[in-house]
Chains A and B, each alone.
Chain A
Amino acid sequence: AQSVTQLGSHVSVSEGALVLLRCNYSSSVPPYLFWYVQYPNQGLQLLLKYTSAATLVKGINGFEAEFKKSETSFHLTKPSAHMSDAAEYFCAVTSTSGTYKYIFGTGTRLKVLA
């Protein structure tokens, strides 16, 4: 079975500060990993994905994430937070073989302080 754990349901950062949202995964097979963002009253939008190519993945809006197999982690970072980054962020995992269902973490709500 696959799962993801997001540490911290709420994270606050000052505008211009580093954003770090944590995600750890559990998978018995090599995983595909994703970060999605959800703005209020909207669906989920893909930020970036890891599909076994480069371990450092760059996404939209200046976000990036690094796949670390030894730590079973896929943390999301952005060097400088912007007010428009305030949203809920979800980490997700799916299998590389067999079933392709996407399992989501519980989400982290990012607040950006002026």
Chain B
Amino acid sequence: DAGVIQSPRHEVTEMGQEVTLRCKPISGHDYLFWYRQTMMRGLELLIYFNNNVPIDDSGMPEDRFSAKMPNASFSTLKIQPSEPRDSAVYFCASSLILGFSDTEAFFGQGTRLTVV
């Protein structure tokens, strides 16, 4: 498997523009996570899905952020409108929960977002 695939790897956009980040999880995984990494706040969990259904979006910073998972092989994180403080590295991760004995999250390479 190619692992978790994120696109784009880098995104530079102007304040006020819409930004869409994309993620393809590992085939067969039933959990998908979106994280944001900044120097100030570290790795923050934004939202996660189980079998394409959002389970916990309490980490989404505000209504400008939205995430969808229309099918098991694709998820998007959208920021509209974007602001400079959204600049960060956004990671997608996926996991397969096999009972209670085996679990780990596999991470993509991340998308570095810069809002100017």
Residues of A within 8 A of B (CB): 32, 34, 36, 42-46, 49, 51-53, 90, 92, 94, 96-97, 99-107
Contacts and interface: CB of A to CB of B under 8 A. Distances in A.
Contact of A45 (B56, B102, B107): B107
A42 B91 CA distance: 10
B45 interface: yes
Interface of B: 4, 31, 33, 35, 42-43, 45, 48, 50, 55-56, 91, 93, 95, 97, 100-110
Nearest to A46: B104
A94 B103 contact: yes
A106 B37 CA distance: 10
Contact of A44 (B50, B95, B107): B107
Of the candidates A44, A46, A51, the one having the most CB atoms from chain B within 10 angstroms of its own CB is A44
B105 to A, nearest CB: 5
Contact of B56 (A44, A99, A104, A106): A99
**Closest A-B pairs by Cβ, 7 of them:** A43-B107, A104-B43, A106-B42, A44-B107, A43-B109, A102-B105, A46-B104
Of the candidates A45, A53, A102, the one having the most CB atoms from chain B within 10 angstroms of its own CB is A102
Contact of B102 (A51, A94, A99): A51
Contacts of B91: 43-44
B60 to A, nearest CB: 13
A107 B42 contact: yes
A90 B43 contact: yes
A47 to B, nearest CB: 10
B55 A105 contact: no
Given A102-B45, A106-B42, A51 B103 contact: yes
Contacts of B104: 34, 46, 49
A105 B107 contact: no
B42 A104 contact: yes
A40 to B, nearest CB: 11
Given A43-B107, A44-B91, A51-B103, A101 B33 contact: yes
